[in-house]
Amino acid sequence: MAIRLGDLAEQFGCKLIGDPDVEDSRLGTLAAAGSDALRFLASEAYKKQLPLTKAAAVILKADDVDDCPVAALVSDNPYASYARMAAALCPPPVYEPCIHPSAVVAGTAEVPASAHVAANAIIEDHAVLGENVYVGPGAVIGPGCRIGRDSRVLANATLVRAVSAGERCIFHSGCVIGADGFGNAMTPEGWIKVPQVGGVRIGNDVEIGASTTVDCGAIGDTVLGDGVRIDNQVQIGHNVQVGEHTAMAAGVAVAGSARIGSRCLLAGMVGINGH
């Protein structure tokens, strides 16, 4: 969709230097953006591209305005402003409420009329979906799971059982939430599996990446606070507690019963020992 620069500046609290009637309709890079594209500058590494850009507008800090040959949207935090404007230019798809004929929905499940349940999805016993929830093709919502309003469970994601998720969460394709943790007791005869009887509690506005796994609690629940962001291929063990707005990049592995506070940043391949 196309949005006037003047409207973007007003809506997102930026100072506009340039023609307010110019329209942005897509996103682009500094080097390759066309005259209808919006771009941002937040890193010194790309500053040399700024004088050559042909974008419709660039979101940048006040210190970089003099080097900008096109319209500028001045922000104290260009990347955050870009994120908000990009969401306005490229809103998520809107799905018509429906239950596909090939979906399997248990008689004890609660699915509101506003939900979209795609082909071959499975909603098991006593699962509860909030308003406007999207369940993608092949996704599984296991027994006793509860999904808050406006959340999206994308294709082939699996919520195994006893997962409680808040509002506006996103579960990307192939993630598995609530599988058994790695609980085993050694005896002279070999391993004995320790039953994993807890669940997973997830706050509002949490995003979990593709092929990431979050194990259920052994006793009690694994907990992810509000606003947590988890990249692809992350492993979170049983009974881990993660504070609000913490982010983990790809390849992070967190062993059971670890506690991670709020607003922590874990880079790729970081490992956290148990307890």
Pick the catalytic residue from 116, 126, 238, 275: 238
Q: Which amino acid is at 84?
A: R
* 238 in catalytic set: yes
In angstroms, rounded to a whole number, what is the distance separating the alpha carbons of residues 233 and 252? 8
Q: How many CA atoms lie within 13 A of 239 on its CB side?
A: 14
CB count, 10 Å around CB of 252? Answer: 22
* CA 202 – CA 168 distance, rounded (Å): 11
> Quick one: which of 211, 224, 100 has its CA closest to 158?
211
Q: How far is CA 147 from the centre of its chain?
A: 15
SS3 label, residue 222: strand
Total residues belonging to the chain: 275
Helix (H) or strand (E) holding 40: strand 37-40
**Which residues are tagged catalytic?**
238
